[in-house]
Structure 1
Amino acid sequence: MHASTPPAPVEGKRLFSLPVRVYYEDTDAGGVVYYANYLKFCERARTEVLRAAGFEQNRLLAEQDILFVVRAVQADYLRSAALDDLLEVRTTIARLGHASLNFVQQICCGGKTIFAAHITIACIRASTKRPTPIPSAVRALFATLVETDERH
């Protein structure tokens, strides 16, 4: 799976979409996408959304000793994807906390949701591996990406 285009906002909202093509390396012996690869697709989409917003994780590590790590994942596998399918990974930030943020991600194929996840990301100090508040400049960036839909 290789992203060739940056994520784009969907419908003028803070929902971003990243196209993903399923390659042979993404499938299992049965010819369907191996279950762990859906999480890899989501990881890449989160990284690309942040990169498109000007956020560089390697710079935060080098300059501020900050890392973002997955703390929790709630995932629903609804349908299978297969070799050569074109998937769409949809990503929003649902909540911005003091030292964490929650992403909502969906993977769609042919307009239908085949995978859905709520992923909590924690901010930690790299040198201690302990939680730390998200730096104010980074919080300000994240705040511009939080989905503010009143229905949630």
Structure 2
Amino acid sequence: MINKIKILLVEDDHIEVMKLKRSISKEFDNYYLSTASNGKKALSLIEKELPDLIILDLNMPDTNGNEFLSIIKGNEDYMHIPVIVLTTSNHDKDIKECYKLGIAGYIVKPLKYEEYEAKIKAVMHYWSLNEFLKP
């Protein structure tokens, strides 16, 4: 039996949260999704319960994605949590900085919903099949 994957989505745009939920709700039932609108709120959620996977936007108010990454990847208790960046930025500087900080993947948000959905489903398939199989 596969345990449910605890996913933390760190995203300040309500429409983006709805898009992600819609993308995975039809096909996947093996997850719990919690959300935070910035890095500071995400950190308070992580302190209460560790997620299995974090999906992170970079451009947010208060504690942005890079600041959040620096904090969790610098903390022994949190550094093992895989982080997938899901953002509009396709700048090499942002991509390199995120990988330097220890992310597991970087996805540029496509404009077309069908492409967005396909990318999110690919991420979910990968993490569901390869990372969180539990006897």
TM-score, structure 2 normalization? 0.23
Higher Rg of the two aligned structures: 1
* Greater per-residue helix proportion: 2
